[in-house]
Amino acid sequence: EVQLLESGGGLVQPGGSLRLSCVASGFTFSISGMSWVRQAPGKGLEWVSLFHDDGDIHYSDSVNGRFAISRDNSKNTFYLQMNSLRADDTAVYYCVKDRGDSWGQGTLVTVSS
């Protein structure tokens, strides 16, 4: 069974940083594409970043230059480093496998002073 377990969310001040982690199990992590998708309170879904299975990395315009994704295949872990956080980054962040076939439970990031 595929499992994705996010952690690292919390309250951070504007301009601050946070790193999210996603521990994966139940599939061959090293050959799988992984993404972060977020959902602001009461809003729709936004595909924030993609670590494609061919190694390409992509970011949405809204986070490009501030967020960075990485992975440690030895630990089956996927990361989202978030810098220069703004109030509009407040959202539940989901770790997602491939083209959305599996999702984690999400971790809430709140950016507020």
Question: Which residues here bind another protein, judged by CB under 8 A?
Answer: 37, 44-47, 50, 58, 60-61, 94, 99-101, 103-106
Minimum Å gap between C-beta 16 and another protein is 25
Minimum Å gap between C-beta 93 and another protein is 11
Name every residue whose Cβ is closer than 8 Å to that of residue 55 and which is 6 or more positions away in sequence.
none
Which CB sits closer to another protein, 5 or 90?
5
Query: Helix %, strand %, coil % for the chain, to 5?
Result: 5, 50, 45
Q: State the Cα–Cα distance between residues 104 and 48, nearest whole angstrom.
A: 15
Which CB sits closer to another protein, 34 or 50?
50
Minimum Å gap between C-beta 86 and another protein is 19
Which CB sits closer to another protein, 44 or 55?
44
- For residue 110, the cross-strand partners are 11
Phi, psi angle pair for 101, to nearest 5°: -75, -20
